[in-house]
Structure 1
Amino acid sequence: MDVTSDTTRRPGRGARERILTAAARLFAGQGISATGMEQVAGEAPVSKRTLYAHFRSRDELAIAHLQALVSSGNTMETVLTREDLSPRERIHHLFDQPITDTSPVRGCPFIDAAAEFPDQSHPIHAYAREQKLRMVQLVTDLVTEPGCREPVALAEQLVTLADGAASRAMVLNQADYGRHARAAAATLLEHALTLPSNPYGS
């Protein structure tokens, strides 16, 4: 494949995609903070001039990488917006690990990024926090629809289970570890849907 001719026909587009692909591999394998821009350029491969023309800093590249993950649908939060599933099914699948070509099992990329950059004012931490807040809002909307009592508290419990399961799946390298959290989530949902104050309960 003639990469040079491809980028000539579509200025910048091929290079940007290669940079993000290379960054995704490196960030997943060794973390953001351990990855240098020169290493990304070599992995892409692009010149450092081209790299910095697209991304002025590693922080900017890391945020673009996280944004690309959201757009790709390859995060555990993606299932929460699937219109082909019922609210209960979406929550059920929240505990599935995203299917990837990488091994070992990866945890939540937003938690990983926030842990690497613990300063809450750091742009990477701020973006990760934004995604975690979005996640709890999506779950809140799902549990509000069928009439669950105290939906915000329930949503926080469910996302805590999901995040914890994702982290343990990574540590233990067990892609199906979410089944434990799914069982606990089912108990929480059943309880919330059968409270006397819930008009949809039995």
Structure 2
Amino acid sequence: MNEPTPVRPRHGRGARERILKAATELFTAQGINATGIEQLSTVAGVSKRTLYQHFRSKDDLVVAYLRSLEDDHLPVVPASPAPAPASPREQLLAVFDWKPPEPTDPFRGCPFLNVSVEVPDPGHPAHELAAANKRGFARRLADIARQAGVADPESLGEQLALLFDGASARGTALNSGRTLVYARSVAESLVDAALADVGPASPR
């Protein structure tokens, strides 16, 4: 694992971005609970006072960190009526092709699942945001399936989301992204069976 490199303390514009970048590196590498404010401020190159000027608490920083990742961890729903750049089948399966940004680092799986485990209180803002992301993940998959004409898009969305989350959690335990490859093969069977019922007019 590559250790985040502390930067020389700086002031002024860009401090918030550096803090979020440091949070992303540290939370991904070692988890939220193992990362302290002192380390965050050192790696970001800001004083603790500056950090607290941008984020009132570590909890606020965790929420901001998750918000910065939301769009990257949700399937892309094709705009309608514009044609989709890929078939619904390809879009539904593409979520299982996710690769960690640094292949040599330990496989950390889904950050939203990780936060929900590290922050178990369902009423905590970070846990609520993680749960909302997971609901949104299944909903976007269902939206893609619906555009393909699948008879029960909600069920297919939930099934694919469950496969992805299970593979992410297992991959974290085993330190292996191969679990997503196996999950993709199961997803192919589910998606193909659902699309087969749509008929020959379904885009494939």
TM-score where L is the length of structure 1: 0.85
Cα distance, 1:112 vs structure 2 = 0.4
Partner of residue 80 from structure 1, selected from 55, 76, 83: 76
Q: How does 1:1-202 map to 2 (within 5 A)?
A: 4=10, 7=11, 11=12, 13-71=13-71, 73=72, 75=73, 77=74, 79-81=75-77, 83-101=84-102, 103-195=105-197, 198-200=198-200
How far off its partner does 1:155 sit?
A: 0.9
CA displacement at 1:129 relative to structure 2: 0.7
User: How far apart are the structure 1 equivalents of 2:25 and 2:176?
Assistant: 20
Alignment deviations for residues 65-88 of structure 1 (CA, whole Å, 9 cap, x no partner): 1111225x3x3x2x4346532221
Question: Could you list the runs of 5+ residues in structure 1 that have no partner in the other structure?
Answer: none
Instruction: Give the RMSD, CA atoms, in angstroms.
Output: 2.2
Kept in 2: contact 1:21–1:44 (CA 8 A): yes
1:200 shift after superposition: 4.8
- Structure 1 residues 117, 2: CA separation in 2 closer, same or farther (over 3 Å shift)? closer
Instruction: Verify the 8 A CA contact 2:32 2:118 in the aligned structure 1.
Output: yes
Give the alignment's TM-score, normalised by structure 2: 0.84
Query: Match of 2:105, as an amino acid?
Result: S
Partners of 1:37 and 1:58 within 8 A in 2: yes
Q: Percent of counterpart pairs with the same letter?
A: 42
Partners in 1 of 2:111 and 2:65 — Cα distance?
10
* Matched letter for residue 159 of structure 2: Q
Measured in 2, the distance between the counterparts of 1:175 and 1:169 equals: 6
Contact 1:97/1:176, CA 8 A, preserved across alignment: no
Q: Distance in 2 between matches of 1:2 and 1:43?
A: 9
Deviation string, structure 1 residues 40-94 (Cα, Å, up to 9, x no partner): 11221211110000000001001111111225x3x3x2x4346532221111111
Partner letter of residue 30 of structure 1? Q
Contact 1:169 1:177 in 2 (8 A): yes
Listed as ranges, the gaps of 5+ residues in structure 2 are: 1-6, 79-83
Conserved 8 A contact 2:77-2:143: no
Q: Say which structure, 1 or 2, has more relative contact order (CA 8 Å, 6+ apart).
A: 2
Corresponding pairs, count: 190
Aligned-partner Cα distance in 1 for 2:77–2:66: 18
Taking the aligned partners of 2:171 and 2:101, their CA distance within structure 1 comes to 14
Tell me the SS of whatever aligns to 2:85.
coil
